[in-house]
Amino acid sequence: MTAQQMQMTYPVTAQPQVVQVFTSSTPFASQWTSDVSDCCKDMGVCLCGTFCPLCLACRVASNFGECCCLPIIGGTMIALRTGIRERYHIPGTICNDCVCLTCCAPCTLCQMARELKARK
pLDDT tens-digit readout, 84-106: 999 999 999 999 999 999 999 99
Give the DSSP per-residue string, the chain. Answer: --HHHHHHHS---SPPPP-----SS--S----SS-TT-GGGSHHHHHHHHH-HHHHHHHHHHHHTS-TTGGGSTTHHHHHHHHHHHHTT----HHHHHHHHHH-HHHHHHHHHHHHHHH-
pTM: 0.74
Tens of pLDDT along 2-26? Answer: 666 655 666 667 766 665 554 545 4
